Structure formats: C-alpha cells, structure tokens
Amino acid sequence: MISAAIQRVLAEKSGSFLIPASKIAIVEEDNPLYHAFLILTKVKYAKILVLNKQGQITGLLSLAMITDKMLDLDGISVKPLNKYQVKDVMETDFVSINFTEKDIETQLHLLVDNNFLPVVDDQGGFQGMITRREWFKAFNYLARTFDDHYVTVDKKQVLKLEAEN
C-alpha cells in the first residue's frame, strides 16, 4: 500500500498528468515508413503512437524500428521506406491505461519500465498520455512541500521514547 500522506500530496498534482491527445503527434498504421521517418526525424519523440482508422492505439514506433528495416546485406538502403508500412515494423506489445484509472500506485509502477503511458477510453479510443516528465514535476512538488502539509515523526524515535518512559 502506498503512503496515504504521499498519495494525498501527489493527488493535488495528478489532474495535470494527462497530456491531451490534441497536443500529441501521431502516425497511422497504414502510413508508408517514408512518412513516419520524416515525422519522427522532425518531432524528435523517442517513440510515437500509432493509431488505426478508428482512432485506437495499435502500436508504438521508434526510428530504430524503421532504420532496422533499412539494413540489408549490402548495407543501408532507403528502398524499404516506400515498400513497407508502419504496421509492418511497429511494436504491438505495449501497456496502456484506462482514462478512468486514477490509481497513482499503478501508474508509478508502470512508469519504471515505460517512459510514457498511453491513455484510452472504454472503447479503446486514444485520449492522451501520461509521462515520466509530468510525474517528475509532481515529485519535485512533493519533496519541496511535504513538510508544509505534514509533521513527520520517525517511528524509531517513537519506540525509543516509549521504551524510556
């Protein structure tokens, strides 16, 4: 169980964790790799979200997934960029969380191994993402303001005092 005091301070900030879908660049799963190569070169995301025609997240794509397809026996070639589509190279094994998921503990746990978490509604529609960056802002807030909210007493000292009295 997560500390209730920590949870309460983090909850003050958790409303700002979600970056809305409208602010996030995406690619579509049937875009040619050529298009995705240009987008990822310009937006500079480490990974971009891939959507299908229904607006559902179907994968994640990095430049390395594209450039890996450019390697052949003769070296590096641009030909695969017109030959393949995003869905041919994207990663489909990824974690997402539900829009209604307010559980801070789950997010905290999943962000150890994921730089961001895509957020979806009940129909699987893309709603936005939660990033480690926004969480770091909240941790800074927590560490700086915790003592304004709470008096903390070391349990070891409590036990010592009890033993002495």
Residues that bind its own copies (CB under 8 A): 1-7, 34, 37-38, 40-42, 44, 46, 62-64, 67-68, 70-71, 75-78, 81, 104-105, 108-109, 111-113, 115, 132-133, 135-137, 139-140, 142-144, 146-155, 158
For its own copies, give the closer residue by CB, 2 or 121.
2
Q: Give min distance, CB of 4 to its own copies, in A.
A: 7
Q: Give min distance, CB of 16 to its own copies, in A.
A: 13
Round to whole Å and give the CA distance between 106 and 122: 18
Q: Kindly list the distances between the CA atom of residue 87 and the CA atoms of 18, 21, 57, 74, 153, in Å, as whole numbers in the listed order.
A: 26, 20, 11, 25, 54
Q: Tell me which amino acid residue 68 is.
A: D
For its own copies, give the closer residue by CB, 56 or 131.
131
In eight-state DSSP terms, residue 32 is B
Round to whole Å and give the CA distance between 134 and 48: 18
Q: Which helix (H) or strand (E) holds 118?
A: strand 116-120
Q: Give min distance, CB of 66 to its own copies, in A.
A: 9
For its own copies, give the closer residue by CB, 54 or 77.
77
For its own copies, give the closer residue by CB, 18 or 104.
104
Q: Give min distance, CB of 130 to its own copies, in A.
A: 13
Contact between 94 and 60 under an 8 Å Cβ cutoff? The reply is yes
Round to whole Å and give the CA distance between 66 and 47: 11
